[in-house]
Amino acid sequence: MRIAIVDDEPEVCAAVRDYLIHILEKYWADQASLVEVDLFGTAEEMLAAFADRPYDLLLLDIRMPGLGGMEAARRIRASSNDVGIIFLTSSEEYLMEGYRVFADGYFLKPVSMDEEAFRAALARVFERRAKAAQTLMVQHNGQPLEILLNKIHYVDIEGGRLHIALAKQGICLTRPYTYEWAVERLGRDPRFLECYHRILVNMDKIERMDKEAFVLTNGVELPISQRRRSCVRASYMQYLLNK
């Protein structure tokens, strides 16, 4: 796991690193030795390093000379929803903006003031990383194929075959791969919701919810069941609240 700490004050960077390692060793001892931590004095330096080799978690100071932590987070979120983001600040004025980029935590300095909240924020990051690694194993064209669940946009039936839609392409599978087979494996995952008869959508791929359809991040529109509309919409809103 790669972690970046970004603060224009070197002593703060060092203190956050030491506290982070302390918490990891206390609650996740088996993973602590596998963590790489890089320190940056500017968001620009971190973004350049991120482009070369992405980080799993960012601890960002909000107020810094040049590019601030909030804008850096927006740029990261434009390309990835999987990166953990924790904000460090001396003021609460950016709290609502932090929620808009789906931050995992927002802490006033020094971060060590609330160990339980910091541990909970890290737990959310670890949980999301575990979800990102989950796969669906199938045989396609006579070869084994491992599909990351977080790459699936939706699943439906196309021409009598199971259709797994990814961002820009689809995979069609014949028996024994049926819609029921997909529901059995994906239906237990909180990301997936049956929004219409034999359409299972990955809610992480929904860009917006219209009255009668979900619009996905790749532009595809999926209908919402008229009979179950209120239930489907409520399930999606609850999922967003629980993220």
What pLDDT shows up at residue 98? 45
Fold classified for 2-132? Rossmann fold (3.40.50)
In 3-state terms, what secondary structure has residue 243?
coil
What pLDDT shows up at residue 232? 97
- The number of angstroms, rounded, from the C-alpha of 91 to the middle of its chain's C-alpha atoms is 26
What pLDDT shows up at residue 133? 84
The two three-digit tokens of residue 166, written as one number: 């990814």
Fold classified for 135-242? OB fold (Dihydrolipoamide Acetyltransferase, E2P) (2.40.50)
Q: What is the pLDDT of residues 40-88, one digit of tens each?
A: 999 999 999 999 999 999 999 988 999 988 899 999 988 887 899 999 8
Q: Is the pLDDT score of 237 beyond 70?
A: yes
What pLDDT shows up at residue 97? 52
Residue 150 CA to residue 137 CA, distance in Å, equals 14
Q: Where are the domains of the chain?
A: 2-132, 135-242
Mean pLDDT within 174-184? 95
Give the model's confidence band at 94: pLDDT under 50 very low, under 70 low, under 90 confident, else very high: low
Please, what is the Cα angle at 86 between 98 and 60, to 5 degrees? Answer: 90
Q: What is the pLDDT of residues 221-235, one digit of tens each?
A: 999 999 999 999 999
Q: Is the pLDDT score of 138 beyond 70?
A: yes
Q: Is the pLDDT score of 92 beyond 70?
A: no
